[in-house]
Amino acid sequence: MPGGGTAMTTGTAAARPGPGPRAGKPLVSVLMPVWNEAAHVEASVRSGLAQTGVESFEILVIDGGSTDGTAAIVAAVAAEDPRVRLLSNPHRRIPHALNIGLAQARGHFIARMDAHTSYPRGYLAAGVARLERGDVAWVSGPQLPVAAGGRTRDVVAALGTRLGVGGAEFRRAAGEKVVDSGFTGVLRADLLRHLGGWDEQWHINEDGEIAARVRAAGGRIVCVPEMAADYVPRGTLRGLAVQYHRYGMYRCKTARRHPSALRRTHLVPPVLLVAAAAAAVPVPGVRAAGRAGVAAFGGAVAVAAVRAPGPRSAPGVAAVLLTMHVSWALGFARGIARFGVPWRGLLRCAGIVPGSPGDDRSG
């Protein structure tokens, strides 16, 4: 229930209008989905409470049925600070959590914050200020990976290469940039409600899907360096493989609905998979072309690994890059099998149908 410090509120899956105007209504509502985050959640919430430069805000922590004491930790913080509210997400999925939070949010602006990410203290203020200047619908900041021991050092180095980030401009911090999707960020609540919230069929890439709808409605999404946020990437090849496999599968689904969500850089991993398959075909010309493609990609990985910034192991970076691309390609192939071929997206990337990749309004 709105305003309840320690009460656990169960929301519905659909985003519905939040409570009407009331005294003390916060300017910003922060949505923070969590599940089994006992090791991090208190620090994340207290970091959110340390935000400066905005007149008022609330933090809605939406718990997906944690079994490690996460809810109790949040409830204890909420008992100390009425700006924190604990909501229940019986569906456990992130888009459901975000819609539950949106339904209960009282703020004029909605910000999303992740429990494993460290945000600057002026994050909310910078996002609100940029939105109030006009001409943009969504303001986000660069997503900057930081090492935390183990293989994360190599992952951070890989994400510092062009081959590691592809066309994801939100992973770079250099002046304001128009991007096709944002990492968390701040939007107006009325826009999100007008769009119907997050699509709950998108268990992964939910931000990419709603970003396509924002762009289709004429909204611009920008990434500003003042909102740069640090996060710790997956620290094992297995974890990366699972993550990128899901990314590839749901990118295929997103491209089926929103053709312009598919960039040419997204096609590099699938083309690699096709080349690898062609290399095994017992037809001389096809086999030679496939082997040439695999060799070219292998050379690009080797060069990227050697030139990767920061402390790292070149073989380790190469292993990370291969894991990312192969897993993404296999996920995309699985997405085709599950959701169908994103023909319009592929044809747009090839320049066969009107509209350039990344321009949603023509798709």
pTM of the model: 0.84
DSSP for 201-265, written as a single string: T-SSSHHHHHHHHHHHTT--EEE-GGG-EEEPPP-SHHHHHHHHHHHHHHHHHHHHH-GGG--GG
Query: How confident is the model over 51-103, as pLDDT tens digits?
Result: 999 989 999 999 999 999 999 999 999 999 999 999 999 999 999 999 999 99
Domain ranges in the chain with CATH number 3.90.550.10: 8-141+182-235
Q: Which two tokens stand for residue 10?
A: 């169960």
Q: Which two tokens stand for residue 123?
A: 């994050």
**What's the rounded Cα separation, in Å, for the pair 261 and 252?**
9
Query: How confident is the model over 296-340, as pLDDT tens digits?
Result: 999 999 999 999 888 788 999 999 999 999 999 999 999 999 999
Q: Which two tokens stand for residue 110?
A: 């909605």
Is domain 8-141+182-235 annotated with CATH 3.90.550.10? yes
